[in-house]
Structure 1
Amino acid sequence: MTVDPVLHGDVRIFGGLYFDIKRKVPHYLSDYTDAFSLQCLASFLFLYCACMSPVITFGGLLGEATEGRISAIESLFGASMTGIAYSLFAGQPLTILGSTGPVLVFEKILFKFCKEYDLSYLSLRSCIGLWTAFLCIVLVATDASSLVCYITRFTEEAFASLICIIFIYEALEKLIHLGETYPFNMNNKLETLTQYSCVCTEPTNPSNNTLEYWDSQNITVSDVTWGSLDVHACIEKHGEFLGNACGPHGPYVPDVLFWCVVLFFSTVIMSAFLKDFKTSRYFPTKVRSIISDFAVFITILTMVLVDYGLGIPSPKLQVPNEFKPTRDDRGWLINPLGRNPWWTALVSVIPALLCTILIFMDQQITAVIINRKEHKLKKGCGYHLDLLIVGIMLGVCSIMGLPWFVAATVLSISHVNSLKLESECSAPGEQPKFLGIREQRFTGLMIFVLMGSSVFMTSVLKFIPMPVLYGVFLYMGASSLRGIQFFDRLKLFGMPAKHQPDFIYLRHVPLRKVHLFTIIQLSCLVLLWVIKTSRAAIVFPMMVLALVFIRKLMDCFFTKRELSWLDDLMPESKKKKLDDAEREEEQSMLAMEDEGIIHLPLEGNYKEDPAMVNISDEMDKTSVWKTLTMNTENTKNKDVSSKRF
C-alpha cells in the first residue's frame, strides 16, 4: 500500500494519535542529532529563500483582496509561527507548510460577502477558523486520517503534477508580467537617440480623483513646477509623462526586462548544473557533494552579486521593515463576534465544513507523497499528529487575524530531495545509490525561524532580485517532476518499442493498458487544472477527492495485477490483510525483481518456469533456487492474482 501499515483505523478516541506519538517519541532526540551535517545547512538556506517569496507574494495578494486587513507582515508572522510549531511537534517534520490558491479564493469570497452585508470580515473569519480547527480535531479523534489509504499513486501523481506545473506556469507568468512594469521601447531609432526625452507635465484632462487629491493636498496647478519633478513625485501628484522615451506608466527603463530574463534563466541553468555536479568527474567526492548540496544557495548568491555589480535596477524582494499590523485599526487579537450578530458564530460552521475539506485534502495528500516507500523513511509517519498541529495552529492564526497555512506540495518535495542520502562512489564511473532521507526537524525549524526574523534583515534581503526567485520556482517545479511515473508513461506515446526504457511495469502490463491508464490520468489532470485556475477553485479539494472514486471505477477496466504494477491496490473490507510473514516475503521478492536479481514470471509458479529466472553472478545460484522452490510450495494454493507479482 501507499501508506504506513498502521493506518488501519482505531476504534478508540484519538487512537491513531496515540500510536503516532508512541511511534515518534523514541526518535525525537535523533531528529536533532541527525541534523549535524552541511547538507542540512544547505537545505534550509535554499528552502528559506524559496519560501520567502511565495509567503510575501501571498500576503500581498491577500492585502489587495482584503483592503490591507491581512497583508505581507501578517503572512510572514503567521508562516513563521505555524512553521515553528509544526517543526517542533509534527509527526512528519519533512513537510513544509505554505499558502495555497484555494485558500486565497476562499478569503476573497468571504471578504466580498462581508462587505456586501456589512459584516466584520476578521471577526467572521475568526469564527470560521475556530470551527475549522474544531472539525480538524474531530477528524483526528475519529481516526479519519486512516482514509488516506485510499489515496493511491493515481491520485498522488495527478495532484503533485498539477502543483508542479502550476509552479512552472506561475514562474514564467511572473517573468512575463515584468514586461508590464518595465516595458521596452520597440520604436528605437539610432539617429534620434539624442532627442529622446520624457518629462512630467500637467494633466490635460484631470479626472475627478486627481482633482480631489489636489484639493486634499491644497495643490494648485500653478504652484507645481511640473518639469522638475522626478518619476515618483510626478506619479504622486497625478501628473502626465510626455516624450518619445515614455511608456504607458512612465519613462522606459532601459535593459531591465532583458536583464530579468537573463537572471531568470541563468538561475535555472546554474542551479541544475551545480545540483548535478555530484556526478561530475572533477574534484574530490567531498567537494562535489558540498557544491551539489549548496547548489541553489550558491546560485542565488552569485546572481545577487552579479546584479549588484552591474547596477541595473531590477525588481527586488520587498519585505516589511516594521513589525506591526498593516492597518492601525486592528490589533494582534481578534474578537470572534466583534460587531457581527451572535448567530454568525453558529452559521459560520457551514463554510467551515468546506474549509475543513480543503485543509484535510491538501495536508494529507502532501503527507502521503512525502511518506511514500520510495523515500525509504525509517522513523515512520504521523498523519493524525500532523493534522492536529495544523488544526490547532489554524485556530491560533484565526484568533490573531493571520493567514492559514497547510502542507505545500512542491516545497515539501524539494525539501525531501535536498536531504537525500547517497552512497559514496569510489570506482570510476560508479553511480551513487540512493540510501534514504536525512530525517530531522532542524531544517524546517530554521527555515521558519529565519522567516520570522526577516523583518529585521531587510537591509540584506532588499538586494535579492525577484527574477532570481522566480527562477528558483521554475527549478523547484521542474526538479519535483523527476521520478513521477506519470511523466515517464507520457514519454511512451510515439516511442517505438525497441527504444522504450526497461520500466518494470512494461514487463507485466500490455502497452495498450499502460496508455489507457495514462490517458485517464491525463484527463483528470486537465480537469483539475481547469478548476484550479478558474473561479471555481474553491471546490478544488472536492475534485481531488473525486479522483479517489475515479480510481475505484478503474477496477472495472484493469485487473488487480495490472493495477498493482501501475498503481497501488485499494484496500477491501472483506479481504483479510496479508500476515507479516507473507508481506515480508512479497517485499523481498519485489526488491530482488527491482534490482534485477530475478525476473518474476507472469504467473505464480516459479519452479515450473526456470527460463524466467535470471540470477546475477554475485549470488549463489543454488541458494536462490532453493529459496524460490520453498516460496513456490508455500504460495501454491494461494490466490496469486491478489498479490502484486
Structure 2
Amino acid sequence: MGKIVPFNGVREDLRGRLACYKDDWTGGFNSTYRILAATAYIFFASALPVIAFGEQLGRDTEGVITAVQTLSSTTICGIIQAIVGGQPLLIVGVSEPTSLVYTFMYDFAKNRPEIGARFFLGWAAWVCVWSAFMLAALAILGACNFINRFTRVAGELFGLLIAVLFVQQAVKGAVNEFRISKFVNATEEQFQSSWRFGNGMFGLILTFGLLWTAIKSRNARSWNFGPGFFRRFIANYGVPILVIVWSAVSYARVGSVPAGIPRRLTSPNPWKSPIATTHWDVVADMNDIPGVYIAAAIVPALMIVILYYFDHCVSAQLAQQPEFNLRKPFSYHYDLLLLGFTVLLCGLLGLPPSHGVLPQSPMHTRALASLKKEATKELHINITSSDPGSPMNKVNFDPEKDVDPLLPVEVKEQRLSNLLQSLLVAACIGAMPALKKIPSSVLWGYFAYMAIESLPGNQFWGRICLLFSSSAKRYKALETTHPMFMHTVPFKVTATFTIFQLVYMICCYGITWIPIGGVLFPVLIMLLIPVRQFVLPRFFKREYLQQLDSAEYEEVAPLPQSLALKEAEAQGLSVGSDTSDDASLDHFATAARGEIKHPLPLPLHNHFGHSTNTHEDQL
C-alpha cells in the first residue's frame, strides 16, 4: 500500500460517481417495468425484517426502541443513500447485528443508576458520536483500500452467519407463539394453555405456508404451465402478494376464537405513541450523561465501527460482484464517510443506526439483472447450429427458463428503485395501524425465506452440503454446473478447509449468546482477515487457497455420468458409487406406483412424415 493521502479515496469516488450521476436517474426512469419489479421485491425484503427487528428490540429494550424507530432509521438513511450516496444499489437498514449490539448496550445501561432506561438513548447517542468520528476517519484515511482483503472466505462466512441469525430469529419467533409474553395480561382468554397451543400450531401453518409458497414463486419462471407473462409476474411480485394472502388466511377463523389469535404485530401507533415526542429530547439528555460513561461509550462504539466497516463494505462488495458486470465505478470511501454522517444523525435523533445490509444488497442487484440480448442471440445461434435437438429449437422455448443463468447479465444501475423502496418504507410508518394486521408468524416465515434466498451462489454453503452428502453420491455434484475447485483441489483439502470455516462460524455465532460480552463478536469477524493472510497459508498450499478463496465465481459445465464418476474418484470425492440393485430399480421405477418403466427408442420420421422404428413396427 502506498503513501496515505487524506481524502484521496473520497475525492476519487466522488469524481467517478458524479460523472454518471445524471445517468443514474435517467436510466431509472427509462426502465420502469424492471425497476418496479425490483422495487416491490426489495421493499418487502427490507421492510419486513426491519419491522421484526423493531419488535425484537421492543421486547429487549422494554419499549424504548420499537419498529417505529427502526423504520424511521431505515427510511432516512435509505433516502440519503439513494439521492447522495455513491453506490445506489447498496441497500441500508437496521440489521440483526445492530439489534444485538443495542440489546447488549441496553442490558449494560439499565443496571447503571446514572443512565438507566431513562437516559439510555442519550448514552447511545454518545456511542453514535464516537462511532461517526471513527468511521469518518477510516474513510478519510483510505481504509477502504483494504477491501481486497475481504476475500470470499470472510464474505461468505459472514453471509452465512447472517442467514443463521435470520433462521434463529424465525425459530425463536415460532417457539414464542406458544408462550406468554411478559408485556401482556396473562389472564386473558387467548393466553390459556389450550388457546396458546392453538395459536402456536396455527402460527406454524402460516410460517411454513409462506416459506414454501415463497420459495416456489421465486422459481415461477421455470414452471411448465402458464403463459410467460404470468410466470414473470409471479416471479417478480409473488412474494409480496403471498404476504398479503397469508395475512388474509389468518382471518379464516371458525367458532368463538379469541381476538388475539393468531398474534399480530404489537408496535405502537406512531400517531398516538408518546415515544414520537420523547425522542426529540435526546440531545438534551446527552448533557446528563456522566463523563465516565461518555468515555466508556468508546467501547461499544469501537464494536459498531468494526461491524459497520466490515458489513457495509462487504454488502457493497457483494452488490458489485464481477458476475453482475457493472459498468459504473465503485464508491467505498465516500459511502463509508456518508455512513459516518448517517450514524451521527440517527444517534442524535434517538434512532438505531442503519448500514449496508445482507442479503438485501446483492438481492437488489440480482433483481435488477437481466440476460443480455446479445448473449441470448449468440447462444441461440451457437446451439441451434451445433445441436438440432437443443431446447432452442423447441416451439415453446423460453430464454428465462432454458438459458444458462450464468451467462453475462445486464444490471440497471440507477437510483430510482432504492429511492422508491425507501419511500415505501416511510409509508409503513404512517401505515402502522394497517401493518399491525400482519400475523407475527408470517414474519417468521419470511425470515426463513430470506435466509434460504441468500444461500444460492455461496460456495461455503455448497461445500457444507457436499461435505455432509453421501460419499457414494458426491459424484452427482459433477453432473450439474459446479465450481472449478472440484477439479483442481483434492476433496480432503476441501473438506478440511470447509470444517475450519464451519468451526469458525460456530464460534462467531456462539459469542452472540454471551451476555454483555457478546458485543465483541465483530472482533472475531475482523480477525478473519489476518487469519486468511498469515495463518491459512501455513496449513494449505497457496494454489489450493487461491481456488477455494477465488474472487471470481468460476463454474464448470455439467459432466456426463461416466466422466463424473472418473473425476470424482480421481479427486477423492466419492468412495465407490451407489450402483446397487435397489438404486438401479429406483432409477427405472415410476414414483407413483412402482411400475417398471420400459424406455422405447425415439421415433424417427422420414421425409414423408411417417414414423419409422416405432414399437408398433417392431411388433
TM-score (norm 1): 0.72
For residue 455 of structure 1, report the CA deviation from its aligned partner. 3.0
Question: What aligned pairs does 1:156-167 form with structure 2 within 5 A after superposition?
Answer: 156-167=155-166
Q: Note the 1:402-481 alignment, pairs <5 A.
A: 402-422=351-371, 427=392, 428=394, 430-433=402-405, 434=407, 435-481=409-455
Does the aligned pair in 1 maintain the 2:372–2:410 contact within 8 Å? Answer: no
Aligned match of 2:86: 91
1:116 aligns with 2:112: yes
Aligned counterpart for 2:236 among listed residues 281, 293, 312: 293
Q: Structure 1's 62 and 567: CA in aligned 2 closer, same or farther, altered over 3 A?
A: same
Residues 515 and 274 (structure 1), Cα distance of their counterparts in 2 relative to 1, 3 Å cut: same
Q: Offset at 1:478?
A: 0.5
Distance apart, 1:459 and its partner CA: 4.8
Pair 1:352–1:431, CA change in 2 (3 A): same
**Residues 423/264 of structure 1: CA separation in 2 closer, same or farther (3 Å cut):** farther
- CA 1:484–1:105 in 2, change beyond 3 Å: closer, same or farther? closer
SS class of match (2:289): coil
Does 131-140 or 350-359 show the bigger shift?
350-359
Answer whether contact 1:168 1:473 (CA < 8 A) is retained. yes
Q: CA deviation at 1:396?
A: 0.8
Q: Which of 561, 565, 568 is 2:550 aligned to?
A: 568
Cα deviation 1:443-475 (Å, max 9, x = unaligned)? 222222122222322353233222222222211
Whether 2:349 is the aligned partner of 1:390: answer: no
Matched-pair contact (CA < 8 Å) for 1:363–1:387: yes
- Alignment equivalent of 2:506, drawn from 518, 523, 526: 526
1:275 and 2:257 correspond:
no
* 2:476 paired residue among 499, 513, 518: 499
Q: Distance in 1 between matches of 2:45 and 2:180?
A: 23
Match of 1:17 among 10, 26, 29: 10
Which structure would you say has the larger Rg? 1
Which of 231, 249, 265 in structure 2 is aligned with 1:317?
265
| Corresponding residue SS for 1:179 | coil
Structure 2 CA distance for aligned equivalents of residues 564 and 254 of structure 1: 52
Number of equivalenced pairs: 513
Alpha-carbon shift at residue 152 of structure 1 (Å): 0.7
Aligned mates of 1:69, 1:450 — CA distance in 2: 24
The answer for unaligned runs of 5 or more in structure 1 is 1-7, 183-231, 570-586, 597-645
Q: 1:540 to 1:253 in 2, by over 3 A?
A: closer
Report the 3-state secondary structure (helix = DSSP H, G, I; strand = E; otherwise coil) of the residue aligned with 1:421.
strand
1:42 to 37, 40, 44: 37
Identify if the C-alpha distance between structure 1 residues 179 and 109 changes in structure 2 by more than 3 Å, giving closer, same or farther.
closer
Judging changes above 3 Å, is the alpha-carbon distance between structure 1 residues 355 and 305 closer, same or farther for their aligned structure 2 residues? closer
Shift of 1:159: 0.7
Relative to 1, partners in 2 of residues 1:345 and 1:521: Cα closer, same or farther, differing over 3 Å? closer
1:257 aligns with 2:200: yes
Residue aligning to 1:82: 77
What are the ranges of 5 or more consecutive residues in structure 2 without an aligned counterpart? 381-391, 559-619
Distance verdict in 2 for CA 1:161–1:342, change over 3 Å = closer
Q: CA RMSD in A?
A: 3.2
User: 1:62 is matched with which residue?
Assistant: 57
Q: Is 98-107 or 392-401 further displaced after alignment?
A: 98-107
C-alpha spacing 1:298/1:330, structure 2 compared with 1 (3 Å):
closer
- 1:500-519 residue pairs with structure 2 within 5 A? 500-501=477-478, 502-519=482-499
Secondary structure, aligned partner of 2:370: strand
Q: State the 1:594 CA deviation.
A: 5.4
Cα 1:253–1:359, aligned 2, differ >3 Å: closer, same or farther?
closer
SS of the counterpart of 2:275? coil
Q: CA deviation at 1:157?
A: 1.1
Amino acid at match of 2:52: T
Identity %: 24
Matches within 5 A, 1:28-39: 28-35=21-28, 36-39=31-34
Give me the whole-angstrom Cα distance separating, in 2, the residues matched to 1:64 and 1:172: 16
Correspondence 1:73-222 to 2 at 5 A: 73-114=68-109, 115-119=111-115, 120-181=119-180
The CA deviation at 1:251 is 6.7
Q: Does the CA-based 8 Å contact 1:32-1:440 persist in structure 2?
A: yes
| Distance change >3 Å, CA 452–CA 564, structure 1 → 2 | same
Provide the C-alpha distance between the structure 2 equivalents of 1:270 and 1:131, rounded to a whole number of angstroms. Answer: 45
How far off its partner does 1:566 sit? 1.2
Aligned to 2:325: 376
1:287 shift after superposition: 3.3
- Identify the residue that residue 581 of structure 2 maps to in structure 1: none
Matches within 5 A, 1:582-593: none
> 1:347: how far off?
5.4
Give the partner amino acid of 1:16.
G
Counterpart residue number, 2:305: 356
- Alpha-carbon distance, 1:559 to partner: 2.6
**CA shift digits 1:413-469 (9 cap, x unpaired):** 332333331357783363254414332222222222122222322353233222222
- Give the Cα–Cα distance (whole angstroms) in 1 for the partners of residues 538 and 274 of structure 2: 56
Q: Deviations over 1:515-550 (max 9, x none)?
A: 222121122122112113333321111101111222
**150-159 vs 167-176, which moves further:** 167-176
| TM superposition outliers: structure 1 runs of 4+ over 6 Å | none
Question: Residue 51 of structure 1 is aligned with which of 37, 42, 46?
Answer: 46
1:376-401 CA distance string (max 9 Å, x none) = 22223211122112110110111111
